[in-house]
Amino acid sequence: EQAYPKDRILELYLNEIFFGFGAYGVAGAALTYFDKSVNELSVAEAAYLASLPKGPNNYHPFKHADRAIERRNWVIDQMVENGYVTREEGNKAKAEPLGVTPRRSGTYLFAGEYFTEEVRRQIIARYGENALYEGGLSVRTTLDPKIQLIARKSMQNGLMKYDTLRGYRGPVTSIDVSGDWGVPLGAVKGLEDVPEWSLAVVLDSS
């Protein structure tokens, strides 16, 4: 904090954090979610990206669209309140759909997450974080999405088979189901690596 002003620290932070869909940094997220550069983002799009650092999976544009829109609109309200956009611009932005148009297909993004994370780690180890996030590097890899997806699925199936040998381990957590249990359920962190699985609530057992 002594070396950089707070705005610069925030900029560095936003340039390296994970935004979901295998995207790191706000520039990468803009390309991944909207196939645009940061400068091309609309108010609504920028607000949605600003909501993601709190928990990318919590505001997934397809799995949790309603929650994502609610959070995006909250960010827009904060932008209006702090004078970054007018009330009219804010209302117009909140009326827009999420409009997420991934740069790559979902299969590609799903298959490449671990691969790209390892590439990121190796680049940092060899060249340092500054070169990765500020140096404008162009990185080419040997990633084949189809093969990567097959390998990932094979490992996932193997781990699931191994896990069944341990037997039932009980619930992930317990929530109050006397009222609107959808709210506490939404606060429970799901399995990000197995998108085809969804959390379920057992209301009664015998």
* CATH code for position 25: 1.10.3810.10
What's the number of domains the chain is made of?
A: 2
The answer on pLDDT for 86 being more than 90 is yes
Tell me which of 56 and 8 has the higher pLDDT.
56
Question: Which residue range forms the structural domain that includes residue 178?
Answer: 171-206
pTM of the model: 0.53
Average pLDDT of the residues of the chain: 81
Classify residue 150: in a domain, yes or no: no
DSSP letters spanning 88-125: HHHHHHHTS------SS-HHHHHHHHHHHHHHHHHHHH
* Per-residue pLDDT tens over the stretch 181-194: 777 777 777 666 66
CA distance 140 to 144: 12
Classify residue 187: in a domain, yes or no: yes
The answer on pLDDT for 28 being more than 70 is yes
Classify residue 182: in a domain, yes or no: yes
Most confident of 16-20, 60-64, 65-69: 65-69
**Model confidence at 66, in pLDDT bands (50, 70, 90)?**
very high
The pLDDT, as a whole number, for residue 117 is 81
Question: Mean per-residue pLDDT for 21-33?
Answer: 85
CB within 8 Å of 108: residues ≥ 6 apart: 145
Tally of CB atoms within 10 A around 153: 11
The answer on pLDDT for 202 being more than 80 is no
* Of the candidate ranges 24-38, 139-153, 156-170, 185-199, the one whose mean pLDDT is the lowest: 185-199
What's the Cα-to-Cα distance from 42 to each of 15, 120, 152, rounded to whole Å?
Answer: 19, 28, 35
User: Where would I find the H helices in 103-200?
Assistant: 106-127, 129-134, 145-164, 182-186
Which residues pair with residue 23 across a beta bridge?
Answer: 20
Tell me which of 190 and 200 has the higher pLDDT.
200
Question: Mean per-residue pLDDT for 61-67?
Answer: 90
Classify residue 94: in a domain, yes or no: yes
The answer on pLDDT for 5 being more than 60 is yes
Classify residue 133: in a domain, yes or no: no
